[in-house]
Amino acid sequence: MNTTKLNKDASPTTFTETEKNWSTEYSKFKLLKFNRTISRKKVDQLKELIDKYGFLVPIIVDESGNVIDGQHRLIAAKELKTSFSFVVLSVDTSVLPYLIAELNSSFDRWKQNNYLEMWASLGKSDYARLSQLMLQRGLHFRELMTLTQVRADNVFKEGDFVFTKDLENRVNRRIGYFNDIMTFNNYLKQFADNKKFRAAVALVVRHPKYDHEKMLRKLQADHNFPLKGCTTVDYVDRLEEIYNKTLSKNRIKFSRQGN
């Protein structure tokens, strides 16, 4: 049971960063579009905790009421119709994306797709184009990263990734190869939702010496893959076996790891 008293006059613009305040004025607090996508599972978990122990960890907001940390806690409190605590920080708006990423990562590490979403929503054109490509071509995020061979390094995280035209053309070509294999025949269409098989195909078609016409010819003659019980490495091994079959030279060793 939450026994904390509500401060009915709480406002996100009238308190200093040293005060902890209480409110039920949910609409005064704004979620930032470049923060991570809301997780329904996480909200439900927080609702259970808040219902059992009360609202323990305050939300951190800036002087305009933008939520820097605690967007899931805010939604949970709103759905429970309970009061929530918050503290106000004076923050330069230019550093908000970095601060939010750092705060979130310290509790629940940000993944590469979180940085992609953030920088795309902030208008970084290279990230927006990459995100649009993923959505338009129906790819999972990891498949896109495998095909682009983009690394989760500081360059990508800090918003400095450059999606060159040359890379974009190369990736589009690989996506074409990827889709050709996934839809090659009715048998392979069964693997449309098999993430491990899809990951294996992405690893194969990005090889610099990959010959797509050769792979299609080989798949025409031999395209049997176990539907269950295989890892991504197992599928890469099988694709490699098919690709190199009858070859005495120019055999290819495909990568077993993304990026």
Residue that terminates a domain, selected from 107, 140, 166: 107
Per-residue pLDDT at 26 = 94
pLDDT in tens, 172-195: 999 999 999 999 988 889 888 899
Please tell me whether residues 45 and 101 are part of one structural domain: yes
Residue 149 CB contacts under 8 Å (≥ 6 apart), including other chains:
206, 259
In this prediction, residue 259 carries a pLDDT of: 55
Predicted TM-score (pTM) of the model is: 0.62
Nearest to 36 by CA among 108, 114, 105, 88: 114
Shared domain check, 215 and 165: yes
Q: Are 130 and 240 contained in the same domain? A: yes
Q: Which amino acid is at 126?
A: D
Which long-range CB contacts under 8 A does 22-28 form with residues at least 24 apart? 22/83, 22/84, 22/85, 22/86, 23/83, 23/84, 23/86, 24/81, 24/82, 24/83, 24/84, 26/74, 26/77, 26/78, 28/65
Residue 251 belongs to a domain: no
Whether residues 147 and 210 fall in one domain: yes
DSSP class per residue in 167-209: HHHHHHHHHHHHHHHHTSSHHHHTTTT-HHHHHHHHHHHT-TT
Same domain, 78 and 137: no
153 and 189 both lie in a single domain: yes
What are the CB-based long-range contacts (under 8 Å, 24+) for 37-43?
A: 37/114, 37/117, 38/71, 38/72, 38/75, 39/72, 42/72, 43/72, 43/75, 43/76, 43/79
Same domain, 156 and 211: yes
Same-domain status, 36 and 130: no
When divided into structural domains, the chain yields a total of 2
Q: How would you list the strands of the sheet with 21-23, edge to edge?
A: 21-23, 84-89, 59-62, 67-69
Specify the CATH number for the domain of residue 34: 3.90.1530.10
What is the per-residue pLDDT for 105? 67
Q: What is the pLDDT of residues 143-161, one digit of tens each?
A: 999 999 988 778 898 899 9
Residue range 232-252: average pLDDT?
89
Please write the tens of the pLDDT for every residue from 12-48: 333 344 457 999 999 999 998 888 889 999 999 999 9
226 and 118 part of one domain: yes
Range of the domain at 27: 21-107
Instruction: State the pLDDT at residue 9.
Output: 40
Are 130 and 72 found together in one domain? Answer: no
234 and 129 assigned to the same domain? yes
What are the helix (H) ranges across 28-158? 40-53, 71-80, 96-107, 112-121, 125-136, 141-148, 154-157
What confidence score (pLDDT) does residue 255 get? 82
The answer to whether position 7 is within a domain reads no
92 plus 124 within the same structural domain? no
CB proximity list for 212: less than 8 A, separation 6 or greater: 177, 180, 205
